[in-house]
Chains A and B, each alone.
Chain A
Amino acid sequence: MTYKSKKTEWLVTALLVIFALTFLYPLLWLIINSLKDTNEIMTGNAFGFPQKLKFSNYSDALIERNILRYFLNSTIVTSLTLLLTTFTAFIFSYGIVRMHWKGCPKLTVLVTLGLMLPSQIVIVPIFLMLRKMHLINNPLSLVLTISAFNLSITTLISSSFIKSIPREMEEAAIMDGAGLWTILSKVIAPQMVSAFSSMAIIIFMNSWNEFIYALVLITGKTWRTLPVALMNYSSGKYGTDYGGLYAAMVITSFLPVILFISFSKEVEKSLSAGALLK
């Protein structure tokens, strides 16, 4: 589809680029201001560059405020969630697609429920239940919860991929005497690389950035994750340290952004996967 005249094309381009800048500018502002001293942020030129680059915002964050520890916690939780969700969704979707049995439609109700409900709506029963199980403040509770809420979308992605794999390969493998696990690992899995990456990206984003459940389920400092650590950053000993807070925010975001930029094609595919399936 092309444009009638160069003039309209230029106009549209200009508008869309300006619109795009409104998405980019705040992030740029964040990086610039993460190197400012808090006093300058509050009293100086909002749009200006820092008068003195305050790298100590970053070293403070990493060392004194323990951001490194929270970074580690987020990594652990996200990695475990990745493993658990991908594996569970994979075998689950295989069971739904390939296996011959009657319970299938009833299962889809459960899956759809998981898809439709915003995860925070059931926060109260989950909190009370995990409390009874002594799992509050245990990162496992977060891993299990995030996995459960990501199962639906990942199962959908996984099943749509499996559906497109021709059965002949599995049938050939069975002729050769392969058991279920061999089929899964040697035949299906290698063909699912694209699906796995889509699933991994969704799970990573949701798990790394999860806030509400991380807030409610992890109450101590030991296992706190990055998004929650940001909340308590500016209050406490040092009063409101906006410069330091922004440094911490940049540290929190740099991993997802790097992943996004390097795998932008995959990210876009997985983020839009939802549309193609509904």
Chain B
Amino acid sequence: MKIKKFLFSMLIVAVLFSGTVFANGANEAQSDSQEPEKIVLHMLYNDTDEKVEDEMDYVMSRLPEVMPNVEVELDMSPGDAQSYETKVRTLIAAGGEDLDVWWERGGSWATPILNSNSALPLDSYLDESGYWNDVIPSAKLPAADGHFYSCYFEDISYEIMVYNKAIFAKYGLEVPKTVEDLKHIVEVLAKTDITPITVGAKDGWCAAMMIEGFAYSVDPKITKKIVDGEAKFSDKPYAEAAQVMKDLLNMNAFSKNIALTGISDAIPVFESGKAAMMANGSWAVASEAAKMGDDFGYFYYHVINSSDIDKYGKNIAGGVKQNSGFMVYSGTKHPKEAAELAQVAAELRCEYVYTKLGNPFTIYNPAKMGWEAASELAAPVEQLANDMTQFEFVYGLVRDVMPTAAGSAGVMQSCAKFMTNSSEYPISSFLSDMDKAALEE
């Protein structure tokens, strides 16, 4: 019977194998029959959710008319940023054969790529094509060595809090501008069935965002100072912010399982109305406004000191992530076309989200590009787009500004741990862990 089982399984395997080989062979045969003059470029993208799938569908549909001499093979790779970036490094380490252009997540992920000279400097290509006329000034964000290696296209993101207007109306609550207001709201809601605040604490950066948001009202430049080595997390701004978070935790502002709630768990909780508020980013504003309609609103992080109330909404954490966007592999066989592809793809993607989705948070200047939003922007979206032009100082942990991956990981882990609100991890331990992370090399 064993021998029969062996033969049977061998048969199945043989059939399956030949099936896949045949399928692959058919694909290759098809692409061979294309015109030989077209240059083939490989583009890699991180398939994080259905939204980006739609975006890239649009890009791919427009590419043949914009770049007719290029054939683009797009690989949508699923997974979170860590596994995606591992794949990028894998391809580069293997010689970068099937890699011409890819979506670089940026920040500390880009550090080893830049250090190993695996990215093509795009300065000359960008200058030639008039790129700098099309984008807003804050997009001129070079890498540490002063060169430009990526075509930014990610939404400019701001760390904000979103809230459910319907719930607020039901309990007679108003948009809080100070921490005291916020605490009052939490007090009221904690007595109900509704969770006051939800956040993806398991993904440490969400919790980090909240704490940073509070810290900014004390000193908006604090994160930048820490990254530049001029200040510490244990200084006043973050210390006070951590205290605010601790108070919120003690007031049952969050659900019991918060430390193990990831952002993908938190979003449905907010959207379904089980939570009144959520710490999120401006990238969600457009889609949440669409899903929740009039019930959706947002506000900025609250000032810790009630007397600072006029500082509310002035300095926001966020911005463009350094070295993110489409990068070109330095060893590509077609640098000129690849650089052009990077620019074109970035532009097309932003055009799509602006015109079709009404998302105004792009680095491109819509007026200069001649874009028109398909429909009226939802009220919150328009509000944010207007506020955007008024922000004074913009920086932030969400831009993954820690210089090393270990530093980012350290910050995220400390914040996630802090959200367990255990007596064994008081504010002092939390802050010293954060300081340690900042010093990681």
Contacts and interface: CB of A to CB of B under 8 A. Distances in A.
Direct contact of A and B (CB under 8 A): yes
Given A83-B10, A219-B77, A136 B90 contact: yes
A134 B92 CA distance: 11
Given A132-B94, A237-B50, A221 B78 contact: yes
Interface in B58-89: 77-79, 83, 86-87
Query: Which has the most chain A C-beta neighbours within 10 Å: B2, B10, B49, B264?
Result: B2
B26 interface: no
B16 interface: yes
A208 interface: no
Nearest to A76: B16
Interface string B13-40: 1001100000000000000000000000
A79 B8 CA distance: 10
Contact of A232 (B6, B50, B78): B78
B264 A235 contact: yes
Contacts of A193: 1-2
A217 B76 CA distance: 18
Interface string A194-207: 00110010000000
A200 B6 CA distance: 10
A239 B78 contact: no
Contacts of B17: 76
A130 to B, nearest CB: 9
A253 to B, nearest CB: 20
B2 A196 contact: yes
A234 B83 CA distance: 17
Contacts of A98: none
A13 interface: no
Contacts of B262: 235
Contacts of B264: 234-236, 239-240
Interface in A119-164: 131-132, 134, 136
A197 B4 CA distance: 12
A80 interface: yes
A131 B94 contact: yes
A82 interface: yes
Given A237-B49, A239-B267, 17 more contacts: A75-B12, A79-B9, A79-B13, A83-B13, A131-B93, A136-B87, A193-B2, A196-B2, A197-B2, A200-B2, A219-B77, A219-B83, A219-B87, A235-B265, A236-B49, A236-B264, A240-B264
18 contacts: A79-B12, A79-B13, A80-B13, A83-B10, A83-B13, A132-B93, A132-B94, A136-B87, A193-B2, A200-B2, A219-B79, A219-B83, A221-B78, A232-B78, A236-B264, A239-B265, A239-B267, A240-B264
Interface of A: 72, 75-76, 79-80, 82-83, 86, 131-132, 134, 136, 193, 196-197, 200, 219-221, 232, 234-237, 239-240
